[in-house]
Amino acid sequence: MLIGYARTSTAEQEAGLEAQTRDLAAVGCERIFAEQVSSVGPRAQFDDAHAFARSGDTLVVTKPDRLARSVADMLAIISRLEAKGVALRVLSMGGAEVDTRTPTGRLMLTMLGAVAEFERALMLERQREGIAAAKAAGKYAGRAPTARAKAAQVLALHGQGVSGAEIARRLGIGVASVFRILRDDRTASQDAA
């Protein structure tokens, strides 16, 4: 059985997730697991796909970076799959497919994973250099604090008796951020008194 796995890092990449699921369905995946999470955090749908797979099945992904961030991670995933008798197939490899059921496929995937990891490291290095240059020029302010920008709304909803969890849900911020804003407001009120 072909089992598909699709992943994007953020909800803003909806089109990318749709394209992956379409490509996986086109090659005949009977079951597709998809999620929008970072590859460095917990991936419930990947865990579900792994648990669902049986010996003789093949897990299919569109690109290696949808599955792993590093060569070590990729090799660990391949090892977990192989322990269950499950192969890995990667569709988008410069017009070719890579299948870990063959020694050549495992070699290609390892080499391409190493190149992808190297490219990512270079990109992150350039990003750090750019941020350092922007800070030195006084042009870098960092990420805008999203929860703090909604402090007035948090306080207004709290004043109406809305629970912290409901405030967080309505405003799209974390519950911890809601309670931090409420705590900071109480502290400011006590300091003023």
Q: Residue 66's domain is classified under what CATH number?
A: 3.40.50.1390
Active site residue 9: yes
We report the CATH number of the domain holding residue 157 as 1.10.10
Q: How confident is the model at residue 93 (pLDDT cuts 50, 70, 90)?
A: low
pLDDT value of residue 129? 92
Q: For residues 88 and 18, state if they share a domain.
A: yes
* 142 in any annotated domain: no
Q: Could you read off the pLDDT of 123-176 as tens digits, one per residue?
A: 889 989 988 898 888 888 777 677 778 889 999 999 999 998 899 888 888 888
Q: Are residues 93 and 182 in the same domain?
A: no
Same-domain status, 109 and 153: no
Chain centroid to CA 83: how far? 25
Token pair listed for 93: 């490899």
- The whole-number pLDDT of residue 67 equals 82
Kindly indicate the confidence band of residue 11, based on its pLDDT and cuts at 50, 70 and 90: low
Nearest to 110 by CA among 61, 62, 85, 77: 77
161 with 107, same domain: the answer is: no
State the total domains in the chain.
Answer: 2
Domain that holds residue 185: 148-192
CA distances from 159 to 15, 44, 104, 164 (A): 40, 37, 65, 11
**pLDDT exceeds 70 at position 114:** yes
In a domain, 124, yes or no: no
Whether residue 120 lies inside any domain: the answer is no
> What percentage of the chain exceeds 70 in pLDDT?
94
Q: Which of 9, 39, 70, 92 is catalytic?
A: 9
Tell which of 114, 135, 166 closes a domain: 114
Report d(CA 135, CA 147) in Å as an integer: 23
